[in-house]
Structure 1
Amino acid sequence: MSFTQKLIDGIVNFRKVDFETHKNLFQELKDGQKPHTLFIACSDSRIDPNMITGALPGELFIIRNVANIIPPYRETTEYVATTSAIEYAVQMLEVENIIVCGHSNCGGCSASLNASERLTALPHTKKWLELIEPVKNRVLKEFSADEPEAREWMMEQVNVVEQLRHLMSYPYIYDKVMSGQLIISGWHYMIETGEVFIYDRKAGEFRLANGV
């Protein structure tokens, strides 16, 4: 069976099973959306925001890009694919939460951290990853090459924290967070274990959220 046929079969199965199961929900959603959360994740194919959170259609407004990056706020129209989606979710849809979700074995973080030569053939990706240069520099300073696993883990987590800081550079987000209308949080998802670690600002560390 080809991958194309597998996807077509999936469409048929969705219509027969999943759609029928949630038919009333889809009827409610036909006239508009009111998601409660903006979920910013990596484009990595192994990450499924709805599966991780158990959310139904209409609950999450999802932005995905390489290494779950949020460009710092600028008044100029730069990196508009991500910034316009953030603006729309917060200003138009009035989401109540923003989650930045990084993950283990992140290719974008690894490429930045290890200055991958492959990036020379990927000029747009290389330009995009320049946004996390400060994260890379901090991690390289604190962890030696003799600690590759710790260094990659830290790169992924510090990157999430850095993106939370970028979010707060958006005036309309800052105002809503300060007034209690919006909550922002950072997650680190472990692909191999299913564990999710959530950043604790007061402790300055990520803590396991879904341990058994």
Structure 2
Amino acid sequence: MDRLYQGTVRFRESDYQDHKELFQQLKQKQSPHTLFIGCSDSRVVPSLITQTLPGELFVVRNVANIVPPYRDTNEYVATLSAIEFAIKALKVENIVVCGHSNCGGCNALYAPEEKLNEVPHVKKWLEISHPVRDSIQKEYPAVEEEKREWMTAQMNVVHQMQNLLTYPYISERYESGTLNIIGWYYIIETGEVFNYNRQSGEFELITENYCF
């Protein structure tokens, strides 16, 4: 805990001072341009990956960067409510769904039943991505584990992009051209980020001259 406490002090004395004027501008209002849906994995840091400042990203993080299909409900739904707020209240211009290499949530899709029973809420949550698992097992039954890992993480990103379009207020803006839905795959050990190309169905490395 000492490390965390000291971190707050260093932030106030260093990073905060570097952006003091920005924080003053943000004290009453936020106007992020992008909803970033990422994995809760500690190795994935949205603002670091995108080199963005406070106020630019509205971030939703959960196990395996999952987007539940839209539904009317009286339950407590954290991810759905955050998406709703970003689109309806903050009126973001972009949604990025970012998966990553060595994703524990995606790998857990193939875990033995008895192992998943130890984390029942995670087990239930991962049901949303069962179509990804089932598709890979059907189409690539003999694929080696390493290849299956990145295929699953990438296909999972595409699946969540599709789930976003089940939200009426998202599909409406997407179809009108006022909202971008973007899929990324981040490789932890190289720092590379790949963008999903809808036309080719492939993830392409984002380079300095990459055009969206």
TM superposition score normalised by structure 1: 0.95
Instruction: Give the CA RMSD over aligned residues.
Output: 1.4
Check conservation: 1:187, 1:197, Cα contact below 8 A. Answer: yes
Partner of 1:175: 172
1:39 is the counterpart of 2:71: no
1:148 is the counterpart of 2:148: no
Unaligned runs of 5+ residues in structure 1 are none
Provide the rounded CA distance (Å) in 2 between the counterparts of 1:116 and 1:150.
22
Which of 199, 205, 211 pairs up with 1:208?
205
Give the letter for the 2:154 counterpart. Answer: Q
Provide the rounded CA distance (Å) in 2 between the counterparts of 1:79 and 1:46.
27
Deviates more, 1:109-118 or 1:149-158: 109-118
Partner of 2:117: 120
Partner of 1:110: 107
Partner of 2:19: 22
Q: Evaluate the alpha carbon distance shift between residue 88 and residue 152 of structure 1 in structure 2; reply closer, same or farther with a 3 A threshold.
A: same
Give the letter for the 2:149 counterpart. Answer: E
1:146 is displaced (CA, Å) by 4.8
Give the letter for the 1:205 counterpart. Answer: E
Which of 10, 17, 22 pairs up with 2:7?
10
Give the letter for the 2:87 counterpart. Answer: V
1:211 is displaced (CA, Å) by 7.2
1:116 is displaced (CA, Å) by 5.9
1:166 is the counterpart of 2:163: yes
TM superposition score normalised by structure 2: 0.95
Provide the rounded CA distance (Å) in 2 between the counterparts of 1:139 and 1:158.
9
Unaligned runs of 5+ residues in structure 2 are none
Percentage identity across paired residues of the two chains: 58
**Where do 4+ consecutive residues of structure 1 move more than 6 Å?**
none
Check conservation: 1:197, 1:206, Cα contact below 8 A. Answer: yes
Give the letter for the 1:88 counterpart. Answer: F
Cα-to-partner distance string for 1:147-195 (whole Å, 9 max, x where unaligned): 1111111100000000000001100000001111100110000001100
Which of 183, 192, 201 pairs up with 1:195?
192
Give the letter for the 2:116 counterpart. Answer: L
